[in-house]
Amino acid sequence: MGTAAPTPTLRWTGDSIEIIDQTRLPAELALIDVRDVATAVDAIGRLAIRGAPALGAFGALALIVGLDEAQPGSMDDAVDVLERLRTEIGDARPTAVNLRWAVDRTIDAALGDGAAADVAAVRQRLLDEALAIADEDAQACAEIGRLGREVLAEATVIATHCNAGRLATAGDGTALAAVYAKASCGESVRVLAAESRPLLQGARLTAWELADAGIDVSVVSDGAMASLIVRGDVDAVIVGADRIAANGDTANKVGTLGHALAAAHAGIGFYIAAPTTTIDAAMPSGDRIVIEQRDADEVHHAGGARLTPTGVGAVNPAFDVTPARLITAIITDAGVLRPPYGESIADALAATRCAQPEDDRC
């Protein structure tokens, strides 16, 4: 494995957020210094920062940037600013549940009990909560990696889609945390990264971060993965998630569903790896999940060049929903969840709440 510590995907500098500009990878490891809300929202919208858990940590930190930028003169003004930011930042992308969840959690921690005496106290509370979210995510990634390694003990050739690694979280990733855990224990592992058209998170980002870590990775065009799975060239498929419904239906990068169908056909394991913060208990099933529709130009172009004839249309859903029945297990920081997911998810969320010391429901 690579020895140099990887550049953090996001980092609080003291008065700004430093992020890797993921639109520039793999050509260039460029950083963006985010010190105003417009830059933060723009970075989310064009996927300079992306991946559900990373969006959560970033959105929470962006609240402090927004408060500093607005410089409210009173507590009432601070409340107004944060309510504006709740929507402006929290709704910058609709499918990844972590973004709005983290923004809500951070604002509620700052204002919820009404005990913050002044704007400086509100800012400190926002910062404490945002840093806690990032820290908890890193811990969740570590636990998912530990459990994922156990689940994938017999798997050597592992397929994945999009990027659910260090670039998508505040830690070692979700799906890729299992890969890192296997590699760090000296287990043989080879990753097949589906390219993930149209924005190529697999080809650009998963390939870059795994190669950087010294892990064997090959890029596979999206259309080729099903045949590789069906002919027996893949031992298991593991991907991340943007939103998991209460019944286990899971939204993830468009193209995931095809890999799940192929895995079911071939009889190999298809795993979701995600922190419990990606579970939306209020979402009964996947058919209600809002799927982000992105600009048609992303389909029309690749690498700056037009691929399609002028005048034709394009449809660009950013995510698809894999039904729970195609998912072998959901690997979370609260354990490996198995069907029936309605029960195992409810139990995991209850156990997570019980782990909070201040919770009086337990």
Torsion of CA 62, 277, 244, 10, to 10 degrees: 40
Which one from 172, 242, 280, 333 is the annotated catalytic residue?
242
Residue nearest to ligand MRU (CB): 240
For residue 239, CA distances in Å to 28, 42, 80, 127, 202 come to 25, 26, 39, 31, 11
Our CB check for ligand MRU shows the closer of 56 and 66 to be 56
Closest CA to 243 of 294, 278, 201, 275: 278
Closest approach, Cβ 357 to ligand MRU, in A, equals 27
Our CB check for ligand MRU shows the closer of 168 and 220 to be 168
Respond yes or no: is residue 222 known to be catalytic: no
- Tally Cβ neighbours within 10 Å of residue 282: 9
Burial of 68 (0-12, 13-18, 19+ CB in 10 A): middle
How far apart, in whole angstroms, are the C-alpha atoms of residue 198 and residue 16? 30
Closest approach, Cβ 227 to ligand MRU, in A, equals 22
Our CB check for ligand MRU shows the closer of 125 and 204 to be 204
Our CB check for ligand MRU shows the closer of 81 and 279 to be 279
How far apart, in whole angstroms, are the C-alpha atoms of residue 127 and residue 215? 35
Determine the distance from the C-alpha atom of residue 237 to the mean position of all C-alpha atoms in its chain, rounded to a whole number: 17
Residues at the interface with ligand MRU (CB under 6 A): 47, 50-53, 96, 162, 164, 168-169, 173-174, 201, 239-242, 252-253, 318
Catalytic residue ranges:
242
